[in-house]
Amino acid sequence: MKKIFLFIAVNLLVYTSLAQTAKPVAKATKPKLVVGIVIDQMRYDYIYRFWGKYGNDGFKKLVNEGFFCKNTNYNYVPTYTGPGHAAIYTGTTPAVNGVIANDWFDKSLNRNVYCSEDNKVIGVGTVAREGKRSPVNMLSTTISDELRISTNMKSKVIGIALKDRSAIFPAGHSANAAYWFDGSNGCFITSSYYMNELPKWVQAFNQKELPKKYLSQTWNTLLPIEQYTESLPDDNKYETLSKGELKPVFPHDLAKLYPANGGLGMIRGTPFGNTLTKDFAIEVIKQENMGKSGSTDFLAISFSSPDYIGHYYGPNSIEQEDCYLRLDKELAELIKSIELQVGKGNAVIFLTADHAAPEVPAYLIDLKIPAGYVDENKMVDSLKKYLTKTYGDSLVLSYSNQQVFLNQKVIEAKKLYLQQVQEDVASFMIKFKDVSEAITATTMNNTQFTEGVRYLMQKGYNAKRSGDVLVNYLPGYVDYMPTGTTHGSPYSYDTHVPLLFYGWNIKQGSSTEAVYITDIAPTLAMLLNVQFPNGCTGKPISFLVK
């Protein structure tokens, strides 16, 4: 019996010793780097439409090795670039973060303001007005702000994009830097909000004159043009002509075209704008030692060129398909650079879009599908005549972003009842055949909508910045030119975007559960163990943070 007890005791000691020596290596408690990638004007279906032509290390890598939230939508209107980037990073809608559009009528200043304009700062690296930019008009913090605060400002946060608003809002209020592209000089610039002088490495990058190099070539298709079977024929009537071209077809002789088409700024409307952004992003990672601060760093990247190309040529153009096939290669190179910098599995990467896009209405009309073009000038002129006849004054200060701004001072001076005037305007606007909704600000303030288009309109309504009457158009109807496409509506063709997470602590898989764009920031907050942005209304994506 003693021998048996001795045998058991010895084995227990051996087992305990092995258990102690065989402890698994603890997984890192936080990622070294977070990289947010926003693609300007990416429809959800582009993932699958071009799947057969993508390589294995770009979009496919994120899908096959990461987590794909397939049913991700914007939960407000308007679906524009400024509000989109703000919503992704603040975790809330324009109702809270205040970025109600790319530009809007400011009732206190009695003029239009640009979403990231700031006349108290000056440009750094430029003398152009495009340098007078900052996040001052965004009213809440971002996930990148909260990361900085949580580490006593030790985390490094940088935002980059061709568009200023796409670099500034993601970087937040407390960023180390935000850089954007100035088409007047072909350089990446910033403002005095962040620094007084461009870093030496940024100056050296600008001195390479890459925009001029990329525009001194011909844009031809990456693959033989007959393989672009996912798009309409190259020569079609739904695309916009560049100055100097007789047809909107390949090849596009950029060297010949760019002097008359925005100069070096034309690179934005070519896939080489994505190349330039990728080049700069990789340089940021290297020169700023991103992911090596000892705290989690954050790099926010936005690829702006798909939006310019979509506006110009439309979602069914060979130009847009070629843009995405080339972007896939840029993403592959970017992901490789990130993983070389911090090691595979040490970075969290997420990819989404700031909005999607509808089909070109003229194309839908030819297919006998309901669609059309709204003549806003005619609409507003009719409204002014009606109000002048009714009240002796047009009472309209502005019509912007499908919102009527009334002259409340005149209404008060005439001793008119504001709510009644708003209701009269709404009743008049709903009579237009292109209009589906017309809702007063009073209704927005006093009624809580829980679903449908009115719910999305309310989430985009900011009591201090929005207009007196909000208008929505029918599906497929836009205020735009007859070629190319735009965006901004509450319909799925504008709201449904891809959302992919990849890397540190992200399991492989996918889900069709409903996710809103405002859920990204709180999900990152849970992964990083930091506070939610202070205006956050989104919820963590449960299957990513369990």
272/469 Cα distance (integer angstroms): 41
Residues 82, 88, 89, 92, Cα dihedral to 10°: 90
How far apart are the C-alpha atoms of 306 and 320, rounded to whole Å?
Answer: 7
The active-site residue, picked from 79, 81, 151, 277, is 81
The C-alpha atoms of residue 195 and residue 288 are separated, in whole angstroms, by: 15
81 catalytically annotated: yes
3-state secondary structure 414-478: CCCCHHHHHHHHHHHHCCCCCEEEEEEHHHHHHCCCCCHHHHHHHHCCCCCCCCCEEEEECCCEE
Pairing label, strands 33-39, 297-303: parallel
For the chain, the residue count is: 546
Quote the CA–CA distance of 368 and 8 in Å, as a whole number.
83
Q: For residues 281 and 290, give the distance between their C-alpha atoms in angstroms, rounded to a whole number.
A: 10
Distance between CA atoms of residues 199 and 68, nearest Å:
37
Residues contacting 174, CB < 8 A, separation 6+: 144, 145, 148, 149, 153, 157
How many CB atoms neighbour CB 17 within 10 A? 10
* C-alpha to C-alpha distance for 170 and 142, rounded to whole angstroms: 7
Tokens 């070294």 identify what position? 32
Residues marked active site are found at 81
